[in-house]
Amino acid sequence: MRKEWNKNKFDPTGYLYEIGNILKLIEKSEKWNADILRKALKQFPKDGKELFSKDQLLAGYKELIAQGKTVEKAILNTRLKMKPMRTHSGVATVTVLTKPYPCPGKCIFCPNDVKMPKSYLSDEPGAQRAERNNFDPYLQTYNRLLALETIGHKVSKVELIILGGTWSFYPTQYQIWFVKECFRAMNDFGNKDGRDTVETQNIFEEADKIPAHSKEGKLKTYNDLVTHVVNEQGSEFFSPNELSDWEELYQQHKINEVAKTRCVGLVIETRPDYIDPDEVIKIRKLGATKVQIGIQSLNDKVQAMNMRGHGRREAGQACSLLRQAGFKVHAHWMPNLYGSNPELDIADYDQLWEEDVRPDELKIYPCSIIKNTRLFELYNEGKYKPYTYDELLKVLTEVMPHTPRYCRLTRVVRDIPSTDIVAGNKLTNFRQIAESELDKNGVRCECIRCREIKLQTITHQDIEVEEIEYSTKTSQEVFISFKTKTDDKICGFLRLSLPNEKSFIEELSDNAIIREVHVYGKLVGIDKENTSNSSQHLGLGKQMIARSQQIASSKGYSKISVISAIGTREYYEKLGFEMNSDQLYMHKDA
């Protein structure tokens, strides 16, 4: 048994003279870079010898404001903020992991780290944070919010991403408890200090002691090892404290509607073959607005060779069901799988944009060889060969420009520590390498991420509306966006779905559905007035919603529904949307 403590916070009260003088130097400097900051820190060292860290300066700055000895200034906020890109997409992202649990998949490439939920490795940054908190959802959420706030980021709008194995395979009561605890942490944040200690016991430390191979020399799977631990724990594997009911979750939902830190997006990840109408409804009841699904490939032969357990049909059905329910579809795609080659991968990528799939977001995860996997054995036997640098570059530079303007390439190459990769690509910056190669050839990727406005300031005169229409198996989609006139940077967008068949969810009936509204730019706190030229201050969301109502009405839809996150319900209420207590969506006349 061990205890995890939140680290003691730095107390700035004894250093306000030094910090105040450093802040004056920072504010007065016409230019700004790391050298200028270092010179300011050296003039007023901590305890006469050490340099203050940025988070300590931020703590002192907040204390000076609280005491009325200085005022909040934009230039100081900008220069003190650490890793400003963390919230440039308009929200603060908080990623948490579920605890290890058996997975229904038998994929030959998937890592077998028994201390982690399936497909994750214990030395990945997010996984390390989860393990430090023993996969406790409250502590993971609260401590991540605290870390972001400490380095100067606003955390009033949070996109919560729940990762780990196959979410749909975990017991429902555990799922409810996990989400409830995440919401409770967001609701508590800013109101009290959170839980100072937690009694933890990582039972999967014992799994490391189980031999990875059987007496016959056969490799044991993740499920073999983890199931052994689960069976030994029996009914104690999920303690009573890790199980909740719907009513407990809904209480936290209600609080979050008006909390200081609101959930404006909830994401879970699962497999396409675990998506059916009942599962979709359950995910929605949890408050989710986006689903990550591992498609990996649309080539059934390649899928079978990698023992993926599903094919093209299941992937298409999952995308259609999720889209009918208003979800954003975030797919994972893997080039360089066993049995594939660069030409097959390039052709496979184009199939992603056929009517039965067409994801809204995509992660490209080239297959990696990790020890203690069946793929590792095939590599050692000479039956599998990872792509060379040039082959991977060819695939990425061929497929990235094919990405539609309505899709966001969230990530290209998974950030797996190079020490875990046996052979093949170990460069985590391969996206930048591919983009540089495209630039040389006068070609560019036009996905949403490549066109985000980021921290650029704009006015209404700088932007124009673009509307892109495309068909899916179950709907006509309209992608409404504001983009800059001169350099095609996207400032905000709305996804409007116009169903062409009756939904399996009764309350949606034949309604038009707003599946996503997102405005980019520096994160602005809830209910802040228009005080800058940030795209989040220009009312773009309201304008796009009004336009979506016009389109829905012109197409013959009498009502328009929105898949609102819990923390955005108040926003939509102000725009005239309503939601009954027994409903999962908000509705308004078109």
Residue 572 maps to which CATH number? 3.40.630.30
pLDDT at 574: 96
How distant, in Å, are the alpha carbons of 103, 201, 226, 242, 245 from that of 236?
19, 12, 14, 10, 18
Please tell me the predicted confidence (pLDDT) of residue 289: 98
Q: Say whether both 262 and 321 belong to one domain.
A: no
Q: Is there a single domain that holds both residue 75 and residue 91?
A: no
Is 279 contained in some domain? no
> In terms of residues, how long is the chain?
590
Mark whether 443 and 458 lie in a shared domain. no
- Alpha helices in 441-519, H assignment, sequence order: 448-451
pLDDT of residue 6: 44
In terms of residue numbers, what domain contains 172? 85-200+238-270
278 in a domain, yes or no? no
Q: Which residue, 422, 451, 480, sits at the end of a domain?
A: 451
Q: What is the pLDDT of residues 248-290, one digit of tens each?
A: 999 999 999 999 999 999 999 999 999 999 999 999 999 999 9
Residues 10, 39: one domain?
yes
- Same domain for 476 and 423, yes or no, is no
Same domain, 370 and 473: no
Show the tokens assigned to 200. Answer: 């933890």
222 within domain boundaries: no
Provide the domain count of the chain. 4
Provide φ and ψ at 468, rounded to 5°.
-115, 125
Residue numbers of the chain with a pLDDT score lower than 70: 1-9, 32, 71-90, 190, 192-219, 235, 521-537
**537 and 506 co-located in one domain:** yes
Give residue-wise pLDDT tens across range 233-245: 776 788 888 899 9
Q: Given this model, what pLDDT does residue 531 score?
A: 47
Is residue 210, in this structure, part of any structural domain at all? Answer: no
- Whether residue 226 is contained in a domain is answered as no
Classify residue 356: in a domain, yes or no: yes
134 and 164 share a domain? yes
Cβ count within 10 A of residue 300 = 13
CB 303 within 8 A of CB 297: yes
Note whether 368 and 417 are within 8 A (CB).
no
For every residue of 1-33, DSSP letters joined together read -EEEEPPPPP-GGGGHHHHHHHHHHHHH-SS--
Same domain, 72 and 110: no
Among 48, 80, 112, where does a domain finish?
80
User: 3 Cβ partners below 8 Å, 6+ apart?
Assistant: 197, 198, 199, 200
Q: Is residue 377 part of a domain?
A: yes
- The CATH number given to whatever domain includes residue 400 is 3.30.750.200
Q: Are residues 434 and 313 in the same domain?
A: yes
Which of the 8 DSSP states describes residue 507?
Answer: G
Same domain, 389 and 412: yes
- The tokens describing 569, both together, are 């319900």
The answer as to whether 215 is a domain residue is: no
CA distance 370 to 379: 10
Cβ atoms 271, 105 nearer than 8 A: yes
Q: Does residue 314 sit in the same domain as residue 437?
A: yes
pLDDT at 406: 98
Cα distance between residue 117 and residue 111, in whole Å: 10
| Domain final position from 426, 451, 476 | 451
Cα separation of 44 and 42, whole Å? 5
